[in-house]
Amino acid sequence: MRSGQRRRSARLPAVREVEPRPPLTPQELDEQISCAAAALVEGLSRSDLTSFYAALRTTELPFLCAQPEMKGLAGACAAILHRLGGISPAAGLAVENHLYVTGALATFPTGNTVLELKRREILDLIGGERLLVANSNSKVHADRLGAIGTLARREGQDLRVEGTAAYTSLATEADLLFLLTPIEGEGPALLVMPLRGNPAIEIGPFLFPRAMLDSDTRRVTFHKPLVPAGSMLYVGNDELMLQLLTFQLTWHQTLLSALYLGAAARAIEEGRLFLRSVQGPTQKPLAELDGMLADMGRLAIRYRSARSLSKAAAAAIDASIGNTLGPVALAEAFDQACAAKYAGGRCAEEVVTQVRRIIGARSFTGDHPLERLSQEVVFGPLGGEVDASIERRIGRRVLSETSFLDLGW
């Protein structure tokens, strides 16, 4: 560590007053999504996403959370990611991390005055300064699942953070870092600190250096940056913290389903183009073969079923905005998000695989979209809560004393 580095403060910039921006109309949202998608295609063609993130910052897409009057925020974020996921699930995952953290922070129903004021300050900063946000829960790879690699210690009212977090997407592009880490003797805390250009935070190598390279997921090491007390969103091992983290995961899994289902939709479109343009032995397009009609119809039905779950999960989040979300309603929204993520990830992997088999080896030639989708879509079931945990938790609910017929599913 460089001399004097320990005295550096991870202090957030001051919030400037800015003119509130009017909410996007549906047409404006679609136009801005198209601009971002075009910039992503261009960046991927040059293996440099710098221009994509520059273009993304010129849109309102990453800053919808700063518009408290925005209607259908979760649905809008899902639409953004569905489009990006059809181009690159990896790059879309980096954007998803920003959207789910800021979206959850903006819409979490809370009566806590301190948290309410703090989140408004952070959201105004993000929207006013056009900042991108990375997120880490301080988990690391170890010989024990769920191992925590960071710890914060009090220094007066402020905090010193040390250790390593393995999973930090959008690591080199983000301006701020949201970190969930335990405070010694106090329990878990949500901290916000500058990331870009912070010498006390070391951004390390890629965690996924090949298939998910464009997610910019890296190991991050904290060399005891000083985090002012005012940069702490909340601390405590209490019901409010549990609800906030559950709400974050509800957002995360809902948006993951939309992201990876975007890859499934693109795969079906590539299958359609292939089958309509290639002729069989009878000089008729393959699309006219009865077997192809049945195969593609089956995949489309599979996609539509999972997409319906995904949209319902986003609608459940949007229905909670401005309301008091009680434990029962939160549990229902969380279960719906889990089902959407579970079905969406598996559906995307299945659809991409089946379309690849239909198209054959040419799906790996040149710059065919299926080559990238095939490599990246397999991460769908691995994000958020893993499928095995979802199965067991839902299974326990199914096998409880309550009749399955009364669960309302």
Whether 311 and 252 share a structural domain: yes
The burial class, CB within 10 Å (0-12 / 13-18 / 19+), for 114 is exposed
- In terms of average pLDDT, the best of 134-138, 198-202, 251-255, 323-327 is 251-255
pLDDT at residue 20, rounded to an integer: 67
* C-alpha–C-alpha distance, residues 172 and 125, integer Å: 19
Q: Bridge partners of 234? A: 190
Residue with the larger pLDDT of the pair 305 and 145: 305
Whether 251 and 364 share a structural domain: yes
> Distances from the Cα of 171 to the Cαs of 124, 163, 166, 264, in angstroms?
22, 16, 11, 27
Whether 284 and 384 share a structural domain: yes
pLDDT at residue 359, rounded to an integer: 96
Whether 252 and 357 share a structural domain: yes
Residue with tokens 């904290």: 222
* C-alpha–C-alpha distance, residues 199 and 211, integer Å: 29
Whether 321 and 393 share a structural domain: yes
Whether the model clears a pTM of 0.75, i.e. scores above it, the answer is: yes
Whether 127 and 199 share a structural domain: no
Give the range of the structural domain holding residue 129, as residue numbers without chain letter.
18-133
Asked, for residue 70, whether it belongs to a domain, the answer is yes
Q: Alpha-carbon Rg of the chain, whole angstroms?
A: 22
pLDDT tens-digit series, residues 370-407: 999 999 999 999 989 999 999 999 999 999 999 999 88
pLDDT for residue 140 is more than 70? no
Residue with tokens 């106090």: 186
The burial class, CB within 10 Å (0-12 / 13-18 / 19+), for 43 is buried
Whether 256 and 224 share a structural domain: no
* C-alpha–C-alpha distance, residues 230 and 10, integer Å: 11
Q: Average pLDDT in the 91-96 region?
A: 98
Instruction: Count CA atoms closer than 13 A to 309's CA, side-chain side.
Output: 25
Whether 216 and 124 share a structural domain: no
Query: Which pairs with CB-CB distance under 8 Å and at least 24 residues apart come from 20-29?
Result: 20/67, 21/60, 21/63, 21/66, 21/67, 21/127, 23/67, 23/69, 23/70, 23/71, 24/60, 24/64, 24/70, 24/76, 28/60, 29/61, 29/76, 29/79
Q: What is the pLDDT of the chain when averaged over all its residues? A: 90
pLDDT confidence band for 126 (50 / 70 / 90): very high
pLDDT for residue 53 is more than 50? yes
Asked, for residue 323, whether it belongs to a domain, the answer is yes
pLDDT at residue 314, rounded to an integer: 96
Whether 245 and 344 share a structural domain: yes
Say how far residue 69 (Cα) sits from the centre of its chain: 22
Whether 292 and 385 share a structural domain: yes
Phi/psi at 4 (5° precision): 85, -5
Instruction: Choose the final residue of a domain: 235, 266, 301.
Output: 235
